[in-house]
Amino acid sequence: VANVAGAAVREALAGLLAGLAPQATVEWFASTPRRAGLANGYRNPTQLGCDRFAAAIGARALAPGRQLIVANCGTATTVDGVSAAGVFVGGMILPGLGLMASALARNTAQLPQVAPGAVPSSPFADNTDDAILAGILSAQAGAIERAWRRHGAVECIISGGAAAYIAPMLAPPPGGGALRHVDNIVMIGLHAVLRAEDGMC
């Protein structure tokens, strides 16, 4: 089980699983120095969120031996680098689309709350709702593109609930690069761990 929702959620999950399958052993997935062929380059490997570690493992499983950027776009957006040699090199965490939109609505006097919808056709919107959407989408895309360029990645793998809105905004760096939109990159990573360690799948 992978959990980044905090101790209370972990405790609730543990109780639920114990009630449903009292004989079962539950393994809590955590970041370690090395797992499933990926070395964790974090200064303190256990500090890395298990979702980011699993996403990086999943990306490496999909594109082994390639220099990668992994963007996971949910409540927060994480943008991480994986080297061709199989090292998680680190990354960045920024507010996701919803948090950015909520921050503008909550902390300004006259801006409305908007929900991600159709990608605006122009970054120069002619109404406030589209201007907010264009701004938050451009901020997300800009962070991903900057990381993609700085890391020299040949492929960017994007996933998460907001990926469908952000992916159309992305442009590969000069010299090219592949963009791949996949569902559930964290689950792909957890499955790769099972295959590598238990031979179960």
The residue written with tokens 């991903």 in the block is 144
CA–CA–CA angle 8, 161, 101 (5° rounding):
85
Annotated active-site residue in 51, 126, 130, 198: 51
Quote the crossing angle between the two packed helices 128-151 and 97-107, to the nearest 10°. Answer: 130
Nearest alpha-carbon partner for 4 in 31, 24, 32, 40: 31
Active site residue 51: yes
Which residues participate in catalysis according to the annotation?
51
